[in-house]
Amino acid sequence: FYMGRYPVTNEEYARFLKANPTVTEPAYWADRKYNQPKQPVVGVSWEDARHYAAWAGLRLPGEAEWEYACRAGSKTRYYSGDKDEDLARVGWYTKNSGGQLHAVGEKEPNGFGLYDMHGNVWEWIEDDWHDNYKGAPNDGRAWVDKRRGSDRVVRGGGWYGGAQGCRSAARSTATSTLASASPGQ
């Protein structure tokens, strides 16, 4: 599988919107605080993220794929180490973000050359939400139930959250229709 080097930016998402005029603009699209060209796009739902990915010839990562890509071979809390200072080198979170979203690629990449895997924006994952991994596929595929509930997995943490949510293993749930100032892709 492949992962984008950076989260999808507003600049990239604008091309998608131009090519798909029937698609609704993301929440916060008109707010300059969240709509700088090099900032990651926010205010997109899980469905929006999937639609963009399909348009771009891509797909959302599975949860196991995302964690593998984030860790890049590391076994520590963050790909950069175990301490908050290590996180601050690689991601934006409540202690260093200044209460705002930042442009992609301003922090150090991981060992695979991927940026912003920790903090700045939560990232949508293909998997349905499950409380634990009991019954998860053991081959890295996304864990999708046939009944397809509305809760999805988000990973990576955000600019307004604490260090705990930015850990490589941290995961959270969000309803697939959520379009907030942190979930991006």
- One pLDDT digit (tens) per residue for the chain, 185 residues: 999 999 999 999 999 999 999 999 998 999 999 999 999 999 999 999 999 999 999 999 999 999 999 999 999 999 999 999 999 999 999 999 999 999 999 999 999 999 999 999 999 999 999 999 998 999 989 999 866 668 999 999 999 999 999 999 999 999 888 887 665 54
Per-residue pLDDT, 180:
75
Instruction: Give me the long-range contacts of 146-151 (CB less than 8 A, separation at least 24).
Output: 150/175, 150/176, 150/177, 151/175, 151/176
pLDDT at 185: 46
Q: By C-alpha distance, which of 106, 104, 112, 109 is closest to 69?
A: 112
User: What are the sequence ranges of the domains in the chain?
Assistant: 1-134+150-185
* Residue 138: partners with Cβ closer than 8 Å, 6 or more residues away: none
- Tell which residue, 1, 51, 45, has the closest CA to residue 26: 45
Instruction: Give the neighbor-by-neighbor strand order of the sheet with 123-128.
Output: 123-128, 151-155, 171-175
Q: What is the CATH number of domain 1-134+150-185?
A: 3.90.1580.10
Predicted confidence at residue 182, as pLDDT, reads: 63
Q: Residue 16, CB half-sphere, CA atoms under 13 Å: how many?
A: 23
CA–CA gap between residue 185 and residue 170 (Å, rounded): 16
